[in-house]
Structure 1
């Protein structure tokens, strides 16, 4: 069995822009698990407000760097860790730019690769996901820490995160190529966005493990699958 840890923020948690949380069969992690089948195990580690490396005075205990080693240790053995963060780094109070946010993700990726898993445990591969874009009307939402600059910053994240992934020889995917934030709250994916992201990741993940007995992805999703880019694998 291949174990995949999905470590992210509210869009990994499955926050519904209309309120509450999308069901397990609606959010991308649950959909991905269903598509991959019984030989894969998906572990959800999504937390609303989670950043890469920043402490938020308005939302304490959301620093992703602090909890990641606990998560890596408690869910061993892991074959793949998906890091889906960056949206909350765009908050105006952090004062970060796109290069800093990419460095934050890099720090988490290096932690995954160098964590002391213990004898007999594999070093998991890493996939970083550049987040969806924050809506331009974010200042009309209830999320006071985001402004128009946050929305603009979110649109500049993909290239530096892609470059970082290439330098670190880890996998990369740009979620903004298949999904958008809902106009309801300008921050979270609707049900269609979750489905599109799951389908794209499905086609990216299967080749990682050389899965020959795989479910067939419908032909209409081939275009989405072709957008999945990756830049190499970790040496075992």
Structure 2
């Protein structure tokens, strides 16, 4: 979406494919964490006009922050401008909708990214088979990473995407997840739509595994709620 602000043309994303995973991580680190903490304090207030006013103010701040981030216009400049109505309209018709659409993911057989074909690689975990120690560690780490993601820690998606999104026929390599690796840097430019597909795919795989494996019954992992293995709480901030 191209719009004019102060005679300057800016581009605002209108779909998840126009936002990168790196941008989503940066937005959360720059603004989202503070918004989430503020929302928690607001929700602790009693119902009534004061809380409603705080929610309205928070939504206004989110609109300015999102518009500033994606347009690269300083947020203080926006606050002092006469474009509040336009900013709110664009936010509620586009940017806010994108954050909500993070929960509406449809998996595909293949994805096209960086001029190449990519596929989701299934974790080698199958209910009923004899689980090796290394496999348990993998399952545990995936579950922990997805839980962290559900709590709004977007950074973990770089590692998960680096491991489970592969080029066609590509095998996993340990260097994928080494700090500052080329693979991790590449994942920062991954369209958010694909990154969220990885999270959804792994969430579904782990839910099936933990809910059907004998080990999960023995250690109580079956009691992990679906929301702890999903992206449902990761979209707002």
So what's the TM-score if we normalise by structure 2? 0.26
